[in-house]
A and B are shown apart, each in its own frame.
Chain A
């Protein structure tokens, strides 16, 4: 079995992820400061969490919600990583010991996962270290610079950058919804529920963190019952995200 274990190749493969993360986390930095976090808080939040959707949902809960709401929302929003971790663990070569996995799992993001599992053969720890390094730097420094520059940039530009993270979400969802009818339905149900919780009088009282959980779990459960996937496809489909 071939094995990819070059630190240098890892670094190189991480460059495009790093650039993408930098631009998106720049917008996150602006968002975090607007929501009442300090520059330092926004930066350390990005460094230790390394997750776009979770952080975006987490910031308003940190400033205005409760701890159970925060824990539960992170658990649901980030639950997709558990599957990615299972499949990445089977892709790692034997040179990755438990302590290596403890580090690698910290940086198992959608994009890092996708690049790692698309390699031919097993991936070694040295490759993973290289792959992880630049995206972590990009995500953290982008947040820092966004948090600082949010006040300096013209209001018009910061307003426009507010859409960057959502643009990234759209970039992840749409190509899959285009190929899979079931996923398109899932997206439609999720959006309908989400709008209901935003505009239907009684439902608007539900805290945002819970809204995300309720809507996404209902949509995913409905589709898991109505259109269960074939077990074999799962890993490869996730790899293409």
Chain B
């Protein structure tokens, strides 16, 4: 895409992302006490990541079948609390192996 348009979008995106991180750190010195706000902030990361993952992840590879295998592997690995790299690597490996198996069968 053209740089002229891209940089306007980049400025807005990076600006918002930075201000969200910077303003609380620079300005707020006391702890937030409002229980609703605290609760909302506690749940929002998991809500966001879940919304972004399902169902989008099933379209992230060449076929929903391979993606589903990778996703299930990721959930199992995460359930047993493997590290970030391990979960990501195992799920990709699962996709790759499933792709190979499908290729062999066809």
Determine the interface band of chain B, counting residues with CB < 8 A from chain A: 35 or more
Q: Per-residue CB proximity of B9-47 to A under 8 Å, as 1/0?
A: 110111011101111111011011101101111111111
Chain A residues closer than 8 Å to B83, beta-carbon distance: 16, 20, 171
Chain B residues closer than 8 Å to A82, beta-carbon distance: 20-21, 23-24, 41
CB-CB contacts below 8 Å: A128-166 with B = 155-157, 159-166
Q: A88 at the A/B interface (Cβ < 8 Å)?
A: yes
Q: Per-residue CB proximity of B62-79 to A under 8 Å, as 1/0?
A: 100011001100110111
Minimum distance in angstroms from B4 CB to a CB of chain A: 12
B interface residues with partner A (beta carbon < 8 Å): 1, 3, 6, 8-10, 12-14, 16-18, 20-26, 28-29, 31-33, 35-36, 38-57, 60-62, 66-67, 70-71, 74-75, 77-79, 81-93, 95-96, 99-100
Chain B residues closer than 8 Å to A83, beta-carbon distance: 24, 32, 38, 41-42
Q: A115 at the A/B interface (Cβ < 8 Å)?
A: no
Q: List 17 A-B contacts (CB under 8 A).
A: A16-B83, A41-B10, A75-B16, A76-B44, A77-B48, A83-B32, A84-B21, A85-B21, A163-B71, A163-B92, A187-B47, A191-B54, A195-B54, A195-B55, A224-B42, A229-B35, A238-B42
Chain B residues closer than 8 Å to A84, beta-carbon distance: 21
Determine the interface band of chain A, counting residues with CB < 8 A from chain B: 35 or more
